[in-house]
């Protein structure tokens, strides 16, 4: 394999140039010697122009690739194929691929296992376009591109400067990636939009795909565009001052400061703007949320409250909302949630037995949600596996009612409201968050659909964010296990989605309650906006048109698992 400038001009690239993956298993000694000779020549040529080259272990660079880098680093079993064009500063981890006719330019850093399909462009630089001079005289700028481990970029995709692609992402063929993609996302389109979480279990084969009613996707696109345009105004109306004079969020104008309001603002901004909320320094917000955590217990008390305990409803919810807000801001808790980690199996069992399942299943599920999320935080961020983690799931599995699939019992006054509300909270933090199926999904669907037909909660003039979310999340989750009564659930989802989309108030967002009325629940605020935006995605995705919204919940109300198993 003689370098092209020493070859007969009529020769053509060989099989390893077009299919470099074959080189590592089938190259002869002579072919390996020729490749090593070419790598030495390439390194010398680049060094002659001040370039640095580091080719670690067994790598392959086709002599028919245009490699003109200032800095090139390639890890073990990585390759650059024929007619690829690679310039500037490129770092490739182990098992990375740049396939034929692919362009990689500017400052580009790939983790391990990044596969870039043929004819793609990864462009870690850009031209300015100020009107004071012709385009060809504009200076170049380079923010760089960061690509995490285990990423697949399909053929003909384009990744633009400044983009960060999280680990384990899949970018569809022909996509144009203009903004950051979170870990595990599957994205496609121009501009690329997140379609789903790669870890989500597939819908069952028995479930017929939902095409969505005619015109619904277009309506969702219009709604999402309107919400994005107004998002800065929605957030700005809820900006207030903390006691030290720094900006902070409240749920709605005139409301008191709460920990949750800051977190809801982060979630709304992430959903609609793809970044931190404007009007406040993201670093200051991270410092405030991290600083609110009690070092000893790992819990976060409410502003002005005393020491938080596991019996504090607000502190249990803050495990969720603060933990996920910090994740969306690129950070995390400073300390483990020790109050949960230190629970022994006996102590946890006693607490679970003592919860008011018969009369207040929602509050019981709320507590389990906080415990499950603390188990996740401690495991993912601190490598601490809770001694009672198996106890938690074992208790839930043995206490689920096989007749109705839920925990708790219906009440004389509110019928299935409490058990269904509790099902969402309980399953969100445990089964759903760890990618596990419910023990009796068909019976759960039956019960949830019975509740969804209760006019006291879903009739004309009724409905709030909690009640709708608590129905659609179990229906959406169970559809990953069974197609049982799927069409009925979709018809209900369509009715709720129609009502929801009419509830947006320009410049203010959503109120917690769908219908007009007096009191805080009828006033637009951050909590209502965040919950309804997440609920809209679940309803739309249950109908097969979730991608039309152009966002996917990634925080408290994320639909897919944050981790697969314990």
Query: Any idea which residue has 């384009």 for tokens?
Result: 158
Before 428, cis peptide (omega within 30)?
Answer: no
Nearest to 95 by CA among 115, 81, 80, 109: 115
Token pair of 2 as six digits: 């003689």
DSSP 8-class letter at 52: E
| Helix (H) / strand (E) containing 79 | strand 79-80
Distance CA 492, CA 356 (A): 30
Cα of first residue to Cα of last residue in the chain, in angstroms, is 50
What is the C-alpha separation between 1 and 30, in angstroms, rounded?
8
Round to whole Å and give the CA distance between 173 and 344: 49
Q: Which of 16, 119, 127, 136 is catalytic?
A: 127
SS (H, E, C) 119-178: CCEEEECEECCCCCCCHHHCCEECCCEEECCCEEECCCCEECCCCEECCCCEECCCCEEC
- Could you give the CA distance from residue 44 to residue 3 in angstroms, rounded to a whole number? 13
* Those residues with Cβ within 8 angstroms of residue 409's Cβ, 6 or more apart along the chain or in another chain: 357, 358, 361, 419
Alpha helices in 309-463 (DSSP H): 313-328, 338-341, 345-354, 361-382, 389-399, 417-427, 441-452, 455-458
Three-class SS of 301-318:
CCCCCCCCCCCCHHHHHH
Quote the CA–CA distance of 69 and 523 in Å, as a whole number: 58
> Strands (DSSP E) along 167-260, which ranges?
170-171, 176-177, 185-188, 193-197, 239-241, 247-249
How many angstroms separate the CA atoms of 278 and 508, rounded? 15
Cα 80 to Cα 92: distance, rounded to the nearest angstrom = 10
127 flagged as catalytic: yes
Q: Which is it for the CA torsion 17, 20, 22, 24, positive or negative?
A: positive
Cα 442 from Cα 446, distance rounded (Å): 6
Positions marked active-site: 127
């Amino acid at each position: 394999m003689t370098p092209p400038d020493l070859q007969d001009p009529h020769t053509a690239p060989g099989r390893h140039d077009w299919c470099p993956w074959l080189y590592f298993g089938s190259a002869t000694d002579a072919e390996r010697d020729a490749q090593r000779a070419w790598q030495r020549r390439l390194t010398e040529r680049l060094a002659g122009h001040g370039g640095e080259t580091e080719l670690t272990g067994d790598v392959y660079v086709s002599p028919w690739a245009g490699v003109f880098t200032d800095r090139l680093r390639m890890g073990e079993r990585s390759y650059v194929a024929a007619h690829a064009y690679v310039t500037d500063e490129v770092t490739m981890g182990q098992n990375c691929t740049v396939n034929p006719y692919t362009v990689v330019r500017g400052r580009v850093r790939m983790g391990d296992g990044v596969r870039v399909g043929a004819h793609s462009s990864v462009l870690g630089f850009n031209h300015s376009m100020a009107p004071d001079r012709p385009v060809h005289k504009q200076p170049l700028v380079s923010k760089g591109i960061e690509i995490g481990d285990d990423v697949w970029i399909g053929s003909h995709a384009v990744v633009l400067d400044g983009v960060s692609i999280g680990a384990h992402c899949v970018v569809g063929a022909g996509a144009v990636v203009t903004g950051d993609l979170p870990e595990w996302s599957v994205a496609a389109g121009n501009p690329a939009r997140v379609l789903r979480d790669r870890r989500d279990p597939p819908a069952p084969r028995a479930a017929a795909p939902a095409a969505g009613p005619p015109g619904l996707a277009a309506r969702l696109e219009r709604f999402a565009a309107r919400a994005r345009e107004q998002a800065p105004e929605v957030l700005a109306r809820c900006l207030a001052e903390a006691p030290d004079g720094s900006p902070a969020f409240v749920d709605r104008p005139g409301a008191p400061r709460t920990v949750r309001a800051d977190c809801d603002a982060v979630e709304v901004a992430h959903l609609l703007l793809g970044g931190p909320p404007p009007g406040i320094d993201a670093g200051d917000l991270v410092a405030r949320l991290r600083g609110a955590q009690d070092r000893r217990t790992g819990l976060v008390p409410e502003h002005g409250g005393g020491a938080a305990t596991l019996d504090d409803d607000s502190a249990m919810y803050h495990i969720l909302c603060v933990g996920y807000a910090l994740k969306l801001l690129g950070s995390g808790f400073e300390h483990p949630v020790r109050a949960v980690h230190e629970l022994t199996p006996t102590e946890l069992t006693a607490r679970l037995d003592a919860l008011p399942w018969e009369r207040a299943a929602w509050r019981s599920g709320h507590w389990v949600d906080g415990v499950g999320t603390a188990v996740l935080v401690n495991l993912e961020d601190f490598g601490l596996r809770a001694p009672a983690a198996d106890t938690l799931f074992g208790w839930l599995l043995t206490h689920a009612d096989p007749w109705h699939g839920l925990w708790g019992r219906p009440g004389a006054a509110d019928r299935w409201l409490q058990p269904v509300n509790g099902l969402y909270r309980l399953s969100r933090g445990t089964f759903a968050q760890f990618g596990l199926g419910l023990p009796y999904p068909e019976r759960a669907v039956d019960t949830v659909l019975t509740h969804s037909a209760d006019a006291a909660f879903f009739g004309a003039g009724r409905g709030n964010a909690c009640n709708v979310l608590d129905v659609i999340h179990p229906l959406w989750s169970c559809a990953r296990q069974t197609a049982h009564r799927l069409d009925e659930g979709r018809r209900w989802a369509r009715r709720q989605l129609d009502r929801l989309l009419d509830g947006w108030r320009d410049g203010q967002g959503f109120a917690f309650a769908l219908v007009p009325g007096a009191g805080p629940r009828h006033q637009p605020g951050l909590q209502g906006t965040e919950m309804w935006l997440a609920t809209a995605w679940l309803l739309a995705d249950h109908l097969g048109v979730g991608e039309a919204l152009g966002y996917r919940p990634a925080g408290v109300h994320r639909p897919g698992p944050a981790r697969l198993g314990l």
